[in-house]
Structure 1
C-alpha cells in the first residue's frame, strides 16, 4: 500500500473511530474484549481498505466491516464460556453527565440488547445511531422494507423481554 493510501486510511479511521467503539460496546462484556475487538476490526478495515471503491460513504462501509467482524467473532466466542457477567461491568460515567436513573436505564437497555441475536443487535445499533432505514438497509445488505419489518419485530421482542 502506498503512503498516501495509508495516510487516508488513518485519517478516516481517526475521524470515525467512535463507530468501532460503539460496535465493540454492543458485542463485548469487558474492557479487554473491547480492546481485542477494536484491534480486530481495525485489522479487517485495513485489509479491506484497498478494495473500498467509494460507492458509499466511508462511515457506511466502516459500519458494515465492523459489524460483520463483530458478528463473526461473536459467533466464535459463543462456543467459549462467558467469564464475566454484564452486570459486573462498571460504567465510567461522571455524575454531572448522568444521574442514577439514566445509568440504570442504560444498563437495562444494554442487558436487553445482549439478549438479541447478532443480526438483531446490529440492526438496533444502527437504529440507535439514528440511521434511517435506507442507510440501515444499505449497511446490512437488505431491502429497506425488510429493515423496517425486522426493526418492528425487534421492538416487539425487546418489549417482551422488558415486560414478560
Structure 2
C-alpha cells in the first residue's frame, strides 16, 4: 500500500461518520445504504488527487458525498415508497435514550420524503454550515438557501405532524 492510499484510508476512517450521515439521509434500507457508501468511497478515491487541502478534508468529503448521493439516486431512480425499519447497525451511543431514538426515526422518516436537494440543504444545515456556505456547496445564493431552508423546515414539521408523533 502506497502512502497516498494509506493517507486516504486514514482520512476516510477518521471521517466515516459522514458516510453514515449521508447514507441515513438518502436511503431507506441497509442494502441501499451500503451501495451508496461504496459509490461515495469510489467517487472520493477518484477525485482524491483533486483535493488540494485548501479546505478541511471533512468539508470536501461532505461535498463529494452529498453530490454523489444526489447524482446516484437521480441516475438509479432508487427511491422506494415505504420505509423499512430493518435491524440497522448504527454507531453505538454511550447514553441510549429511547425517546430520542424514536424522535430520530420519525425525523429520518420525514426526511426520506424530501427531494435530494432538500435533503442536501437540511443535511448541511444540521452539520452547522452557514446559509452562505450551504449556498456555495450547492451553487445557489445565500438568499435562496434561506428561503429553501425555511420551506424545508415547514415541510418537515407538516410531515412529522402527519405521523401523529408528539414530543
Q: TM-score, normalised by structure 1?
A: 0.83
Structure 1, unmatched stretches of 5+, are none
CA spacing shift, 1:94–1:65, aligned 2, 3 Å: closer
Q: Which consecutive residues of structure 2, in runs of 5 or more, have no partner in the other structure?
A: 163-167
1:113-134 C-alpha deviation (Å, 9 max, x unpaired) = 0111100001111112222323
Q: Describe the SS at the equivalent of 1:152.
A: helix
Contact 2:27/2:112 (CA < 8 Å) preserved in 1? no
Q: Matches of 2:138 and 2:13 in 1, distance apart?
A: 23
Further displaced range: 130-139 or 102-111: 130-139
- Large movers: runs of 4+ above 4 Å: 91-96
| Aligned residues between the structures | 160
Q: CA–CA distance in 2 between the matches of 1:88 and 1:116?
A: 18
SS of 2:15's equivalent? helix
What is residue 117 of structure 2 aligned with on the other side?
119
1:86 aligns with 2:88: no
In structure 2, how many angstroms separate the alpha carbons of the residues matched to 1:122 and 1:4? 32
Measured on the aligned residues, the alpha-carbon RMSD in Å equals: 2.5
Partner of 1:145: 143
1:96 Cα offset (Å): 5.1
> 1:26 deviation in Å?
1.1
The separation in 2 between residues aligned to 1:91 and 1:12, in whole angstroms, is 24
TM-score calculated relative to the size of structure 2: 0.82
Which of 119-128 and 86-95 deviates more?
A: 86-95
Partner of residue 47, structure 1: 46
